Amino acid sequence: MPTFSDLQLIHPLRQALENEGYAEATPVQAKAIPHVLRGRDLLGIAQTGTGKTAAFALPILHRLGKQKLRRKRQVQALVLAPTRELATQIGASFDRYGAFLDVSTYVLYGGVPVSPQITALSRGVDIVVATPGRLLDLERKHHVFLDHVQWLVLDEADRMLDMGFIGDIRRVLRKVPRERQTLMFSATMAKEIEHLAKEILDDPALVEVAPPASTAEVVEQKVMFLRRLNKIHLLLQLIADPAMARGLVFTRTKRGADRLHTLLAREGVRAEVIHGDYSQAARNQALERFRDGESPLLIATDVASRGLDIDGVTHVFNFDLPLEAAAYVHRIGRTGRAGQAGVAISLCDETEGGLLRDIERLIGTPLAPDLSHRWHDHEVLPDRDASGPVRHGGRTKNRGKKRRR
């Protein structure tokens, strides 16, 4: 892999990267940065954890650093993100990489008082990282002006489409100049992403560093079959493993997350919980306690399955399988980051066989079954493929002819 010196980034950026301990570029950075430096629009297909934030932040900072900034700071770069957590992390990355540059970054998101954001914008900002709703609200009230934007970035565009932000994205596009450089990043190349790319990108370079819906090779993935009422008992056993240093536990619903948090607390297990009903301040505090190691577990709904960049997550537990198979890929992407090994364990109950089949169809391989735990129930084992072998109690027997659906 090339070094950041090979990519000819300006010295203040290389100095900041050296302080962060980064020497070699990741594949997405090595492929994307030269295109962005040359001013091309770009479509990047890359999962979280591949270093894609630096793939757009570094060349934007490079070009801003070489410009003579106006006396009054104006928004030169705009990054849209689907969630508050991701926006905050992107803003922190710009701050770290731009530590030795005279460039200011500010993050805008809802769920917090707007007054400090208005005050910061009034002083002038070079880079804005924002969720679409709060950005448009401030723009309508003339607190932020987008007529000098040179770079527009849509990060996790597939997630923004899933969350219904397409209307907001189009409204933002009408506010920024036509002459701009646009960068779009997505974990998958769905048809909707192709359509959006054709709509907003001008002759883009395509950078793809992982096949759509692939899962990290360094993550050990397995599934355990049991009755739903036994899931809490198995989870308690799994988190007692000394190898489990920091774990993320995913539930399907906010109510389920709260209920699991209560059950773990009754067993004396320290855990944090985040979902959409918590205020931004409460979510930030929970994440800080998890990052600092005060709590070894974080319980979350899929609001946290994308964009969370937390070092040292050793285990991901799917307490509930997700309704959307693609969410599985995003959930387990919270571990096995930066080349470190990770473990993803899915607890599959008697109602979730279809969800498991959807996941396995998406990732192109069956999850390895772990039948060794004391709560294993062979009757829960689903037909993994109606035309192939069917498992019963750890044994395999053939159906013979294909079963009709």
Q: Which residue ranges make up each domain of the chain?
A: 11-208, 219-397
Q: At what angle do helices 52-66 and 11-20 cross, to 10 degrees?
A: 150
pLDDT of residue 393: 36
Q: CATH fold of 219-397, please?
A: Rossmann fold (3.40.50)
Q: Please compute Rg for the chain using Cα positions.
A: 23
Q: Give the C-alpha separation, 172 to 218, whole Å.
A: 38
Question: How many separate helices (H) and strands (E) can be counted in the chain?
Answer: 14, 16
pLDDT of residue 278: 82
Contact 219, 335 (CB under 8 A): yes
Contact 202, 347 (CB under 8 A): no
Mean pLDDT by 10 residues, the chain (405 residues): 85 91 87 96 84 94 81 88 89 94 94 93 96 95 96 92 88 96 89 90 90 64 95 96 94 94 96 85 87 93 69 93 85 78 93 90 88 89 48 35 35
| Max CA pair span of the chain | 77
- In the chain, the amino acid numbered 403 is R
CA nearest neighbour of 254 among 268, 273, 229: 273
Looking at the structure, give the CATH architecture of the domain made up of residues 11-208. Answer: 3-Layer(aba) Sandwich (3.40)
For 201, how many CA atoms within 13 A lie in the half-sphere containing its CB? 23
pLDDT of residue 2: 80
Pick left, alpha or beta for residue 49 (phi over 0 → left; psi -120 to 50 → alpha; otherwise beta). left
pLDDT of residue 247: 96
CA nearest neighbour of 76 among 87, 62, 86, 90: 62
DSSP string, 152-215: EEETTHHHHHHTT-HHHHHHHHHHS-SSSEEEEEESS--HHHHHHHHHH-SSPEEEE-S-TT--
Contact 322, 331 (CB under 8 A): yes
Q: Give the C-alpha separation, 203 to 220, whole Å.
A: 39
pLDDT of residue 387: 36
Torsion angle defined by CA atoms of residues 110, 116, 117 and 122, in that order, rounded to the nearest 10 degrees: 160
